[in-house]
Amino acid sequence: MNDVELRQLVPQVLSVLVRRGADFATAEDAVQEALIRALAAWETDEPCDPKGWLITVGWRVFLDMTRSDATRRDREVRFDTEPPSGGAPSADDTLRLYFLCAHPDLTSSSAVALTLRAVGGLTTRQIARAYLVPESTMAQRISRAKRTVSRAGVDRPGDVRTVMRVLYLVFNEGYSGDVDLAAEAIRLTRQLAVLVDHAEIEGLLALMLLHHARRPSRTRPDGAIVPLAAQDRSQWDTRLIAEGVTIAQAVLARDQLGEYQAQAAIAALHADASRFEETDWVQIVEWYDELLRFTDTPIVRLNRAVAVGEAVGAWAGLAALADVDEHIPRRDAVAAYLHEKNGDLELAARLYADAARNAPNLAERDHQIRAAARLNDVRRRL
């Protein structure tokens, strides 16, 4: 059994323990310990029933943990010494974990970490490496999240939109270490789509697939950002694009439009163009107008301004940009691009330099510095 197959058992095993009365925080710790024991014990002798093995070991670990607690006697009245008999966990049990991890009392970062642990089956070390933080920091974050869920109880879970937001955060926050968070988010979203019939979940899955398909062309080997216009489209994953477009078309036909579906439609239009110059910017602007009805955020308005600049002209894009507050991150970068497109190289170079100073990460900073240097070099040669 490979690592992904093993992690797929985690929510099922955790669901059994929680459904049979274990508190969420202790049960989650017990399942993680069972996973560690499985990795050692199964190396030479994998059991015939891996899930049953994990449930048995996880339950015994849970009992050991509760016996060491100060309230040991009260708890032992409620629990037998052997794992209770009963049916396998249902889809509803796994779904319940999604909603518990999206508990309204949790911060976004805590909900993401807890989802990756309890539903994704990742270890604290793997999550810490993926988010480039010390393992101790991630352990504290996960412990606080589990305490919050246990303290607040399981009667106030998050809703499906909160679950989708958490999965989208997992997808967007990058990848490093030995776990690809984008691929993990896609795996979990596929699972959720099977459990829940909701148009926006399908839209989210299509959006993830279409974005993930372009990933190989987005950076150079040295980590430098490659803008959309310069990306080598032969590197795009046509299989993922085809799947994403098929899902997007099917869900849009249900006429239950939402923000993830609108974003998927925009991504599909980008994927459909064999060259940047063939992009249907007019349709993209129309979809951004639809998206604004659902989520009128600065980032949506920034992206719409770029699309307007491509569809109508740089002057129109700059006019659209006037609706965005000057202090919004990445606004200078968008303004620089549109001024460059409009022929004002001096102002564009200045704005690229400003964007570099305010860049949210090193890759974007370096990209803006190179853009400013490129324009200054052009100006010197004119």
* pLDDT tens for each residue of 343-372: 999 999 999 999 999 998 898 999 999 999
Number of domains in the chain: 2
Q: Is the pLDDT of residue 281 over 80?
A: yes
Is 151 contained in some domain?
no
Reference 128, options 250, 280, 117; nearest CA is 117
7 band by pLDDT with thresholds 50, 70 and 90: confident
285 band by pLDDT with thresholds 50, 70 and 90: very high
Among 60, 89, 118, where does a domain finish? 89
Is 284 contained in some domain?
no
Q: Regarding predicted confidence, which is higher, 280 or 37?
A: 280
Is 328 contained in some domain?
yes
The token duo for 41 is 């014990």
**C-alpha to C-alpha distance for 37 and 58, rounded to whole angstroms:** 10
Q: What's the mean pLDDT in 8-29? A: 85
**C-alpha to C-alpha distance for 351 and 8, rounded to whole angstroms:** 47
Q: Regarding predicted confidence, which is higher, 252 or 37?
A: 252
Q: Is the pLDDT of residue 89 over 60?
A: no
Angle between helices 238-252 and 259-272 (to 10 degrees): 140
In the chain, what percentage of residues exceed pLDDT 90?
50
Q: What's the mean pLDDT in 240-249? A: 97
Which amino acid is residue 377, in one-letter code? Answer: D
Q: How much is the pLDDT for 83?
A: 47
Among 89, 114, 137, where does a domain finish? 89
Stated pTM of the model: 0.80
Among 34, 66, 89, where does a domain finish? 89
Judge whether 89 and 12 are in contact, CB under 8 Å.
yes
Is 244 contained in some domain?
no
The residue segments making up the domain with residue 60 are: 4-89
Q: Is the pLDDT of residue 72 over 50?
A: no
Q: How much is the pLDDT for 286?
A: 98
Is 198 contained in some domain?
no
Is 72 contained in some domain?
yes
The pLDDT mean for the chain works out to 87
Is 302 contained in some domain?
yes
Q: What's the mean pLDDT in 113-121? A: 85
